[in-house]
Amino acid sequence: MRVLVTGGAGFIGSHIVEELRFQGYEPTLLDVRQPPPPPAGEADVPWHHADIRAPEPLRRALRDVDAVCHQAAMVGLGRDFGDAPAYVSVNDHGTALLLAAMAEAGVGRLVLAGSMVVYGEGRYDCPVHGRVRPGPRGAERLAAGEFEPPCPRCGAPLVPGLVTEEAPTDPRNVYAATKLAQEHLAAAWARSTGGRAISLRYHNVYGDRMPRDTPYAGVASFFRSALAAGRAPRVFEDGGQLRDFVHATDVATANVAALTSATACPEGALRAFNIGSGERRTIGEMARALADAHGGPEPVVTGEYRMGDVRHITASPARARAALGWSPRVAFAPGMREFADAPLREPREPLRVPGRAGEVPAHAGTGPPPAAPAGRAG
């Protein structure tokens, strides 16, 4: 099988390329990065140096391809709403151009880098009213240190649970909205062409080659970068936010399983799968595990917060286990020990965005762990 990996030189994409090669498949890369000079690069892997929004390079990259693994994206929460046009341009317009080129080339299999951020807050149960969906947390409660969302009907404390793929979607920031739009576009492509589209809704991905701390990096990167500089990781809120941290190598094996499965998705449809470790951990627990493995300094819980952050979001990977035959292999403790000293990438060269001052990072291939300042992991 010949597989085009968009963003194949980035954090998650590079792990996918390695896994494809390990399993005997033939990857091709499309990335805004220039290929490294031999022998550092993989000279036998075709490399298309192009923006995902460039139609002609897309057409060339799709020649003689059997499937596409679409990782190219602009990730994280960014700085402010001024980044919205860039997110929509890269993530949604870029995906639409890719899908149009796939339809023209007759490529009928797509695996999309989705994200758990499409759910908004996770699952909550009230002891009185059962399953409820709390709204966004207000500034007054957050400023008072009341971080847990209460029952929207009676105000009682809620019990967080695991989200399944059937849960309603509720994107609460621009990045999340673009990731859900990507799924809708892919579903429309599948219906129109008879193709198969699988969206892998990644949880908080970590591992070697993760980009360093920028406004678009993930919380694991922020903590890891702080420790490397001799600074204490700064944990937002009270550190009790629940997340699922999944290693990049496990995400790579999930992508290959989705690409090669003959039964996970019917023709003419999109099917979503949660991709996580299945282990619920708090942000504070992750910061402490990294600090202990690295040798300090100890994390500092700041009580700071960001509007739009969700409190708890963890999801069940049971569907992926059953339909894809996939299971994560890297457990939390050994994964954090390895990541504590793993090499990180320098931030990508910036991409200028018309209509606003400043720059945002170039996009293809950084992978989608949603991001914010330390203490935020999705």
Q: What pLDDT, on the 0 to 100 scale, is given for residue 218?
A: 79
Which pLDDT score is estimated for 134? 93
Give the separation between CA 154 and CA 43, rounded to whole angstroms: 62
Give the pLDDT score at 216.
62
Residue spans of the domains in the chain: they are 2-123+161-341
Distance CA 190, CA 99 (A): 9
pLDDT at position 102: 98
Q: In this predicted structure, what is the pLDDT of residue 39?
A: 47
* Rounded distance between C-alpha atoms, residue 300 and residue 252, angstroms: 32
Model's pTM, two decimal places? Answer: 0.90
CATH code for the domain defined by 2-123+161-341: 3.40.50.720
Could you give the residue numbers annotated as active site? 175
Helix (H) or strand (E) holding 102: helix 94-105
pLDDT of the residue at 214: 67
pLDDT on residue 87: 94
CA dist 174 and 180 (Å) reads: 10
Q: What is the pLDDT along the chain (378 residues), one digit of tens a residue?
A: 999 999 999 999 999 999 999 999 999 999 998 887 654 445 589 999 999 999 999 999 999 999 999 999 998 777 788 889 999 999 999 999 999 999 999 999 999 999 999 999 999 999 999 999 998 899 999 999 999 999 999 999 999 999 999 999 999 889 999 999 999 999 999 999 999 999 999 999 999 999 887 666 778 999 999 999 999 999 999 999 999 999 999 999 999 999 999 899 999 999 999 999 989 999 999 999 999 999 989 999 999 998 878 999 999 999 999 999 999 999 999 999 999 998 888 765 544 444 444 444 444 333 332 233 222 223
Query: Does residue 130 come out as left (phi exceeding 0), alpha (psi in the -120 to 50 range) or beta?
Result: left
